[in-house]
Amino acid sequence: MSGTAVVDGPADQLPGGVWRDVVGQAPALEVLRRAVADEDAMTHAWLFTGPPGSGRSTAARAFAGALLCSRGGCGECKECATAVDGTHADVDVLATDALSIGVAQARELVQLAGRSPSVGRWRIILVEDADRLTEQSGNALLKALEEPTPRTVWLLCAPSPDDVLVTVRSRARQVRLRTPSVEDVTALLVRRDGIDPTTAGYAARAAQSHIGMARRLATDESSRARRRETISMATRIRGVADAVGAAADLMKIAEEERDKVLTDRHAEEKAKLLATLGAEAGARTQPPHVRAQITALEKAQKTRATRFTRDMIDRALLDLFSVYRDALVVHAGGAVPLINEDSRVVVEEVAQALSAERILLAMDSIGVARRRIDANVAPLLALEAMAIDLTLPR
C-alpha cells in the first residue's frame, strides 16, 4: 500500500493501513479516524471498551500508530510498526498479569505522561487493563487525566465501562468495540496469520469470535485437544461421582496449561532478577534487600498464576457453555450453523437427552460457576456444583 491517504477496499472488506487488524469495528473506526485527521475531533483521554477478544488493545495500538504516523496510519512505516508493537519511544504500554494495578505503577505512568514527546507528535500512554485500577491507583491518575500535558494522550482499555472507576471513566471519551462476526475473524486469520480458510472458519466459530482464542485454536493442536476434552464433559456425567471427576479434570486441564505456560517463564524472570541484583559475590547468605525483591517477585508470580488458572477455567466454561447454546439451536430445529460444528455428535446427544428447560438450567449453572470463581469460591468446588447440573439422565 502506498500514497498519502489510507485506502480501504469496499465497505464490507477489511480495513487497511495500520487499521488492518481491527476487524468488524466500522463505527468505532470512523470516530478514531476523524480524530486522527482533525485535531478538533481529538481528545486527550480515550477509553476502549469491548468484550474479551474483540481487539481492544489492537484497536488502541492502531490508533496510536495512526496518531504518530506522518501519513495518518499507512501501516508501512516505522512509526506505525513500532506503535503497534509497543516499542515506539513515545508509546508506553502498561500490560499487567497481576490482579490489580498498584499505586506505584500508576505514579510511574503519571511521570511518563508528564514528559513531552521525544520524536513524534504525541506521547501516548496505553493502559491495557484499566479495569484493574484500584481506588488508590485510579486516584493517582486522576489529575493527569484531568489536566493533561498538552501533547499527551491516554488510551485506556477495559471490557466494559462499568468495570472502570467512574472517576476515571468520566474523564475519557468512550470507544465501544463490538464482537466481530465469525466471517471477520476468519478473514483476519487467513490474511494476518496465513491460516487456511477451513481451519480459520472452524477456529473463529469455536472461539465465538474471540480473536486471540481463535488464533490459538487455529495454530495450536494441544489447545484444540483441550477444547475437545472440555466439550466432551457435556456427555460424560451420569451421576455425582462423574460430576466430581469432571470437575477435577477441568481443574487439571487448567493447571496443566498454567504450568506449561508459566513455569519456565517464571524461572526465566527470576533468573533475570537474580542476575541484576548486586549481591556480594560469593556471599553465603543473601542480604535483606535482595531477599525482599525476590519475595516481591515470587508474590507477583503467585498472583499471576492464580489469575491465569482462573482465566483458563473461565475459557473452558465458555467452551462448555457453547455446547448448550448449540443444543438449544438443535432443539429449535434451526438451520443456524453450530459453534461446535466439529463436535456435532456431542451437541446432538445433549439435545436429545435434555429438555430445553434442563439445557437452560445447565447454562445458568455454568454462569453461576463463573460468577463464583470470580468471587473467590474454591474453583474445584464451584465446578463440582456446576457439573452436577450437567448430569444426563441414565
Partner 1 sequence: MTESVDVPSRVPPLVLVSGPEDLLAERAVDSLLQDLRVSSPEVDVIDVEPAGYEAGALGVHVSPSLFGEDKAVVVHGLHEATDALQQDLLDYLADPVEHVTLVVLHGSGNRGKRVLDTLKKSRARVIDCPAVKSDRDKADFVTGEFRRARRKITQDAVQALVEAVGKDLRELASACTQLVDDTTGTIDADVVERYHGGKVEATGFRVADAAVAGEAGEALRLLRHAVAVGVDPVPIVAVLAGQLRQLAKVGGAGRGRSTDLARELGMAPWQVDKARRALNGWSGPGLATAIQAVAAADEEVKGGGRDPVYAVERAILTITRTHGSG
Binding site for partner 1 (CB under 8 A): 239-245, 263-264, 266-268, 270-272, 274-275, 277-284, 286, 290, 294, 372, 375-378, 380-382, 384-385, 388-389, 391
- Find the Cα–Cα–Cα–Cα dihedral 146, 156, 308, 360, rounded to 10°: 110
Cα 113 from Cα 116, distance rounded (Å): 8
Query: Pick from Zn ion, partner 1, none: which does 360 bind, CB < 5 to 8 A by kind?
Result: none
Residue 355 Cβ vs partner 1, minimum distance, rounded to whole Å: 18
Query: Pick from partner 1, Zn ion, none: which does 384 bind, CB < 5 to 8 A by kind?
Result: partner 1
Residue 37 Cβ vs partner 1, minimum distance, rounded to whole Å: 48
Cell readout for 386 is 456446576
Cα 19 from Cα 23, distance rounded (Å): 8
For residues 4 and 118, which CB has a smaller minimum distance to Zn ion in the complex? 4
Cα 186 from Cα 205, distance rounded (Å): 8
Specify the amino acid at residue 393.
P
User: Is the CB of residue 386 less than 8 Å from the CB of residue 362?
Assistant: no
For residues 13 and 376, which CB has a smaller minimum distance to partner 1 in the complex? 376
Query: Pick from Zn ion, partner 1, none: which does 348 bind, CB < 5 to 8 A by kind?
Result: none
What is the rounded radius of gyration, in angstroms, for the C-alpha atoms of the chain? Answer: 23
3-state secondary structure of 93: strand
Cα 25 from Cα 74, distance rounded (Å): 18
Cα 254 from Cα 226, distance rounded (Å): 9
For residues 225 and 381, which CB has a smaller minimum distance to partner 1 in the complex? 381
Please provide residue 53's backbone torsions phi and psi, each rounded to the nearest 5 degrees: 85, 0
Q: Residues interacting with Zn ion, by CB under 5 A?
A: 69, 74, 77, 80
Cell readout for 254 is 487448567
Please provide residue 315's backbone torsions phi and psi, each rounded to the nearest 5 degrees: -65, -45
Query: Pick from Zn ion, partner 1, none: which does 69 bind, CB < 5 to 8 A by kind?
Result: Zn ion
Residue 86 Cβ vs Zn ion, minimum distance, rounded to whole Å: 16
For residues 139 and 293, which CB has a smaller minimum distance to partner 1 in the complex? 293
Residue 385 Cβ vs partner 1, minimum distance, rounded to whole Å: 3
Residue 117 Cβ vs partner 1, minimum distance, rounded to whole Å: 36
Query: Pick from partner 1, Zn ion, none: which does 275 bind, CB < 5 to 8 A by kind?
Result: partner 1
For residues 110 and 277, which CB has a smaller minimum distance to partner 1 in the complex? 277
Cell readout for 378 is 474454591
For residues 62 and 74, which CB has a smaller minimum distance to Zn ion in the complex? 74
